Amino acid sequence: MRSRTLIALGAGAIFGFSAALTSGVLAERPSEATQPPAATALPWEEARLFAEVYERIKGEYVDDIDDRALMEKAVRGMVAALDPHSAYLDSQEFEEIRLSTMGSYPGVGIEVVAEDSVVKILRPIDGSPAQQAGLLPGDQIVRIDGNDIGADLAGAIARMRGASGSTVRLTIRRAGTTDGLLDFSLRRAKVEVHSVAQQSLEPGYGYLRITGFSETTADDVNRAVARLKRDNPGGIRGLVLDLRNNPGGVLEAGVAVADAFLDEGVIVTADGRTPDARFRMDAAPGDVIDGAPLVVLVNSGSASASEIVAGALKDHGRAELIGHKTYGKGSVQTVMPLSRGGAVKLTTSRYFTPSGASIHGKGIVPDIVEDGAEEAPAELITGKPSVPLQKRDKEVRLALDTLKAGAFLAQHRATPLALRTLVP
């Protein structure tokens, strides 16, 4: 297998297909490296220290530990001590990373989180078996196939996954019901995870929310923009791109999203010790909204690939950023398969925005910084009637007002002097 280069944030939403052990959404980039590097001899003194500690543990630790388990713990500790984003992955964790970047997986299709000592459903994915069965946001998963779950998020995710066509029984506790526990029998299927949602805010003004960057995100963005154009036959006069609480994703997907709104220029560069760790990615001609004004919403949960997008659009003057300072993760990880089925996720590069700035540990400060504590993005409601998103989310409202003010000023500048008094 080829090595895979990833941008990873050790935090973020846990989806029904990704185990908690992977610690967040990952971004990957194919690497040219296909052969492992030559082994480096361990200095004798360090080898002796390791052997001495190993023997002490084997001989005197309160519990007997299997040799293989102890060696795995040693490897995990060695890699984890390097930085927060490097990690050893066993075969199951490696598979979870692979699934988390594909945009589809076999399962029931729900986002879950461990909260208040229970596993709670954040939302069922559109069109998934969970949505079709009637599961709702806020439902608590009590048992899976008769087994109590408690707050075991990883265990719940593992039990809900399985081959397409197989069934799983969920016992749910739902607030406001008088029937006690509810049982649902779900038939697993291939679930398409779309990380992009769109809405028209007002005629001519659109909204895109990207929750993560997978292999399908770039195509999802193009489809979402096409829908906005269809719903706004007069054209797109401005767009709000919402990257709040987006912890990152596939590197190429982030670059492709930035490229979708840029005609030219550097999107991101990276520097590291090996040739594969040094790269530069540029925009190709073409802007999906034909140069219409763009506002990007960010916050402290916007990280990694999200920061690549925000940084590129900001540095090129293509978009105005609104919200709170971003997370500040500017390193690149490579996932390197190992001989026994696992892998090591190792930091191999640091990346830079088009201006040459490293945002690692610093984040990106928006052009307009919102006062006060951060608020979670408002839920997207597709049913009618509903309160417009811009009335439920103050940052979306600010973004829309910013776009409209810019459009008004552009129109005002283009209006002949004799007619300007007619402009309200």
Q: What is the pLDDT of residue 35?
A: 56
User: How many C-beta atoms lie closer than 10 Å to residue 20's C-beta?
Assistant: 18
- Which of 3.30.1120.130, 3.30.1280.10, 3.40.50.10300, 3.90.226.10 is the CATH number of 196-374+386-409? 3.90.226.10
pLDDT at position 371 is 85
Per-residue pLDDT at 9: 32
Q: Per DSSP, which regions of 244-397 are E strands?
A: 266-272, 279-282, 294-298, 320-323, 331-337, 343-352, 368-369
Note the pLDDT of residue 416: 44
Q: Which two tokens stand for residue 69?
A: 């388990």
Q: Which residues of the chain does CATH 3.90.226.10 include?
A: 196-374+386-409
Exposed e or buried b per residue across 252-289, where buried means at least 16 C-beta atoms within 10 angstroms of its C-beta = bbbbbbbbbbbeeebbbbbebeeebbebebebeeeebb
pLDDT of residue 344: 92
Beta bridge partners of 270: 279, 351
* Per-residue pLDDT, 407: 62
Could you list the active site residues? 304, 315, 329
Distance CA 256, CA 368 (A): 25
State residue 22's pLDDT score. 32
Indicate the fold that domain 104-192 takes in CATH.
Answer: Pdz3 Domain (2.30.42)
Alpha helices (runs of H) in 167-267, residue ranges in sequence order: 217-231, 251-260
φ/ψ (deg, to 5) at 104: -155, 155
Render each residue's pLDDT in the chain as its tens digit; 424 residues.
334 344 433 222 223 333 322 333 344 554 444 456 666 677 888 888 989 999 999 999 999 999 999 999 999 999 999 998 899 998 888 887 777 777 677 889 887 877 778 898 877 887 889 989 999 988 999 999 999 988 888 788 888 888 889 999 999 998 877 667 999 999 998 887 778 999 999 999 999 999 889 888 999 999 999 999 999 999 999 999 999 999 887 888 999 999 999 999 999 999 999 998 999 999 999 999 999 999 999 999 999 999 999 999 999 999 999 999 999 999 988 888 998 888 999 999 999 999 999 999 999 999 999 988 898 898 887 655 578 999 999 999 999 999 998 765 555 544 443 333 333 3
Please list the residue range(s) of the chain that carry CATH number 2.30.42.10: 104-192
